[in-house]
Structure 1
Amino acid sequence: MYKKLVGATLALILSGCAQVPVEKQDARDPLQSLNRPLYDFNMDVLDAYILRPAAKGYIAITPAPVRSSLVNFTTNLAAPTDAVNAALQAKPGDAGVNVARFLVNTTVGIFGLFDVAKTLGLEHKDEDFGQTLGVWGVGDGAYLMIPGYGPSTARNLTGDVVDNVVLPEIALSTPQTILVFALRAVEARASLMSQEKLLNESLDPYIFLKDVYFQRQLYELHDGNPPVEEEPEEFDEDFLENL
């Protein structure tokens, strides 16, 4: 469940999450019989014994300014990928902003450790290849729970492979790519620490996480203005932006 940091969204009605969920066939999740055991494995084994302890240790020994610089560094590394995807989505303005951010932060910002571009009004434009495929009309495909990775869909898994493996490999070695991925994963899990109560207190965490995931994907695909059939109540934005 630890993808790169993304913009927040409005989602789920909390009162609805507090009710006993009714198990029914979900067309988005035809592989639920496989996904649920994988979710349990991710949460009860990998997260409980590896990722959460690593995140707690990371918080304990890493000063906040250092954590901020690491986030800036990994975000800056993704700027060229963001720019390529923005261009593929016919967003030349966003592509230009990401290129400018990369140039400014890599130089003046000392390899991206400091987000100087933001102080100049160049806000990060987060775009990925999963969104690009969505803009091109490719559907979500089946919901997937990936061991050690978390929720995804057939479309977004393809996009993540392109964004996190194919494109970075052009500039980074395999060990460097793995290190960057690990930094992002631990930081994202650390950021979720204060929000995990929402998941733990839901009566069916699997359904809760799946619904939040699809709401977030819809938010990203429509650049923060998804079509709304019913007016949702406010949901905790920090949880969504660090999922």
Structure 2
Amino acid sequence: MLKPILVALTAIIMSGCANVPAEKQDERDPLQSLNRPIYDFNMDVLDTYILRPVTVGYVEVTPQSVRTGLVNFTTNLTAPTDAINAGLQGKPSSMGVNVARFLVNSTVGILGLFDVATSLGLEHQDEDFGQTLGVWGVGDGAYLMLPGMGPSTARNLTGDIVDNYALPEIALSTPQTLALFAIKAIEARASLMAQEKLLEESLDPYIFVKDVYFQRQLYELYDGNPPIKEEPTDFDEDFLENL
């Protein structure tokens, strides 16, 4: 089911979008005429009528301790993939930390519900295959606005697919996997509540989100130390962390 979608996306990326006016063309975003309507659908329909109301309700009725445990659990599931990607990127220290985190939190932390590893100085090292490809010299490719998922790039979409096949989540049942995806999506949306005003006040929210996304990718690729000076922005790190 996924293969035809990827083939179609690849064909669109290769052909580009000739109907985007030249003066508005962003070389990072050759699919702008396709991406903008998808962005509008994500924000005006999915977020307005589904994701935001569900997130608000979830935050109101779920105790913080329960939410923290669920986030810890989902983060722990990604630790093996983080470790593999750290190794592929030539980061033995980060790989070791992720392996140690998984072992500690899966045992003492009761399957990851409690983040014991962080209290021991083993901070989460977030590494994914999209970053791995970037370290290997693969460019971003076309910017993509995915229905129901938000911003990505051709490189990071490929990375997400590889990571999802490698995750322990694939051993779970479909309902369990969907539940984990829902938790991640809701918690990510909850963390952005405080940033909504920035988006609303931006001259072009679509461009605002795109620029934030690319800055976040640069930040992650170089572990917080990008080689180029970034322009000052009026959004904070929480916004960057959850795109």
Secondary structure (helix, strand or coil) at the match of 2:151 reads strand
Alignment of 1:73-112 (within 5 A): 73-112=73-112
Partner of 1:146: 146
Secondary structure (helix, strand or coil) at the match of 1:86 reads helix
Unaligned runs of 5+ in 1: 1-22
Partner of 1:232: 232
What is the CA–CA distance in structure 2 between the aligned matches of 1:168 and 1:47, rounded to whole Å? 29
Partner of 1:182: 182
Post-superposition CA distance 1:87-130 (Å, at most 9, x none): 11111111111010001001101111111011111011000010
User: Which protein has the bigger helix share?
Assistant: 2
Partner of 1:67: 67
What is the CA–CA distance in structure 2 between the aligned matches of 1:208 and 1:68, rounded to whole Å? 29
Asked if structure 1 preserves the Cα contact closer than 8 Å seen for 2:198 and 2:235, the reply is no
Pairwise CA distance, 1:201: 1.1
TM-score (normalizing by structure 1): 0.87
What is the CA–CA distance in structure 1 between the aligned matches of 2:169 and 2:238, rounded to whole Å? 30
Partner of 2:160: 160
Instruction: Specify whether residues 209 and 220 from structure 1 end up closer, same or farther in structure 2 by C-alpha distance, changes over 3 A only.
Output: same
What is the CA–CA distance in structure 2 between the aligned matches of 1:148 and 1:233, rounded to whole Å? 26
Partner of 2:135: 135
Pairwise CA distance, 1:166: 4.5
Post-superposition CA distance 1:136-173 (Å, at most 9, x none): 11110000000010000000001111213443455333
Secondary structure (helix, strand or coil) at the match of 2:192 reads helix
Identity of aligned residues (%): 80
Pairwise CA distance, 1:82: 0.4
Instruction: Specify whether residues 238 and 205 from structure 1 end up closer, same or farther in structure 2 by C-alpha distance, changes over 3 A only.
Output: same
Secondary structure (helix, strand or coil) at the match of 1:160 reads helix
Partner of 1:120: 120
What is the CA–CA distance in structure 1 between the aligned matches of 2:187 and 2:127, rounded to whole Å? 19
Instruction: Specify whether residues 231 and 238 from structure 1 end up closer, same or farther in structure 2 by C-alpha distance, changes over 3 A only.
Output: same
Query: What amino acid maps onto 1:140 in structure 2?
Result: D
> Number of matched residues?
221
Pairwise CA distance, 1:236: 0.9
Query: What amino acid maps onto 2:217 in structure 1?
Result: Q
Pairwise CA distance, 1:235: 3.7
What is the CA–CA distance in structure 2 between the aligned matches of 1:117 and 1:70, rounded to whole Å? 16
Pairwise CA distance, 1:178: 1.8
CA RMSD of aligned residues (A): 1.5
Asked if structure 2 preserves the Cα contact closer than 8 Å seen for 1:69 and 1:114, the reply is yes
TM-score (normalizing by structure 2): 0.87
Pairwise CA distance, 1:197: 1.1
Query: What amino acid maps onto 2:147 in structure 1?
Result: P
